[in-house]
Structure 1
């Protein structure tokens, strides 16, 4: 049975135009099988309650504290991905001292043999809005390392990008190493290249204590860095676009 893990690595983001801009930061993420959420509970980790680290169901999916697996299974069913009938692993930042902001939560949806069949990318912006992108092969074959999948952009994330064009996704799982790459293309071609990658480790109380010492303000820095880089883009005179109304549909397929 797959157990909850911490993924240690980096997030990288690069903009190609009209001004070059990029950053790379060390981060860690939680990777939790939806069937094992309650196994996270421990001396330093709370489930649906405050602790040094915590995971709250209301931070994801329906955002009402109800079953995350039920929510994800409905998205898969509505998207006609019956092959994804195995474990679903959610990768996201946990709360630290009660706070976290997740620009993206990645839901890896496997079949019963452990093959990746679909991915739900749950995207959040700083306006409190959320949208999901369900990506899978058209013929529903397993998603292999190096495969590219696409989805039309439907949701406002950054005021420095219009809601147009499409995303290209690539997910690589090789043993304990995981990489998610998301490229954004507008009408003029590739604009943004973003990735999060790292190696996972089994969660222990000792590892959590060391992680807190090594990354004491990481979840707070996530939102802080978003605004810092927005200021830098503004200083570089990158065009600013007004936020449109969010899409009526919850999920883009």
Structure 2
């Protein structure tokens, strides 16, 4: 599966541990796409890829589009500018893997997308964590290896201050702790985000086993999860009702801080 699109079937989990306990775990699927191989190394400014089953910047049953990521205009240009603005254009000279929830039948909601940036030795040297909220806004956290490390190591926990309003039940203050691992032997993918203020508030992760993204594998998950986007949206709203019923304080006043 080297530098070819992958489909990951597994779970996404949210577990709130303070001030009230509440958890949600759901079966799902997401994609792992080699963006440099498919898009960046192509000459066209608005490159596309795929067919009617899976495609990038084209109408497909499962798809990824420019407007779903980054500046919402052009993935290729946004990636180049983001790496340059963070002095990473020379460091990131290998593959860039986009791990995200795709559009399904034209509909999408992406709580988070990760851009895993490698060097020419296939080492993970940067991660762009693109966080989305229910207001259609998004923010990218640029994560680097620990001090005195040139690459991420398995088990590394990277902390960064929270600076983007995500949920009306979460403060904009505090910090995130990120942890990532992709096992090349088992193809097991794992991404974790924990949110802290003065204590641990929320634990989230997405995990699963990657397989080649083929027409057959794409159609298989579509039959298994035909309304996955609608399911996510319904779960988010039901979750909000439950949190409100549990008297979790609202933080809407912090949205424009």
Pairs within 5 Å for 1:65-214? 66=74, 68-81=75-88, 82-137=90-145, 138-175=147-184, 176-187=187-198, 189-214=199-224
Distance in 2 between the 1:79 and 1:207 partners? 37
CA distances 1:13-49 after superposition (whole Å, capped 9, x unpaired): 1111111000111111111111315685124123323
2:19 maps to 1:18: yes
User: Residue by residue, what CA displacement relative to the aligned partner does 1:165-190 show, whole Å, maximum 9, x if unpaired?
Assistant: 10000001111111001000012x11
Name the counterpart of 1:250: none
SS in 2 for 1:142: coil
In structure 1, stretches of 5+ residues that fail to align are 248-253
Instruction: Indicate conservation of the 8 Å contact 1:129/1:246, yes or no.
Output: no
Alpha-carbon distance change, 69 to 51 in structure 1, aligned in 2, over 3 angstroms:
closer
Aligned residues: 244
Contact (CA 8 Å) 1:4, 1:40: kept in 2 or not?
no
Question: Given that residues 42 and 205 in structure 1 are in contact (C-alpha distance below 8 angstroms), is that contact kept between their aligned partners in structure 2?
Answer: no
Distance 2:57 2:13 in 1: 30
Task: Find the residue that maps to 2:223 and give its secondary structure.
Answer: helix
Contact 1:155–1:246 (8 Å) recurs in 2: no
The DSSP-based 3-state class of the residue aligned with 1:211 is: helix
Deviations 1:194-239 (A, max 9, x none): 0001111101111111111100111121222111101100011111
RMSD of aligned Cα (Å): 1.7
1:251 equivalent in structure 2: none
Shifted more, 219-228 versus 6-15: the winner is: 219-228
Cα pair distance change 1:144/1:95, threshold 3 Å = same
Distance in 2, matches of 1:26 and 1:125, equals 21
Counterpart contact for 2:5–2:31, Cα < 8 Å:
yes
Structure 2 residue ranges without an equivalent (≥5)? 40-46
Residues 126-178 of structure 1 deviation map (CA, whole Å, 9 limit, x = unaligned): 11111111111234521011001011000110111111110000001111111
Listed one character per residue, the Cα deviations across residues 78-107 of structure 1 (whole Å, up to 9, x for unaligned) are 223342221111111111110001011111
For residues 77 and 129 of structure 1, what CA distance do their matches in structure 2 show?
Answer: 23
Q: Counterpart in 2 of 1:59?
A: 68
Q: Is the contact made by 1:84 and 1:111 (CA closer than 8 Å) also made in structure 2? A: yes
* 1:44–1:205 Cα contact (<8 Å) kept: yes
**Cα distance between partner residues in 2 of 1:222 and 1:139:** 40
Q: Contact 2:171 / 2:254 at 8 angstroms: preserved in 1?
A: no
Deviation at 1:70, TM superposition (A): 3.3
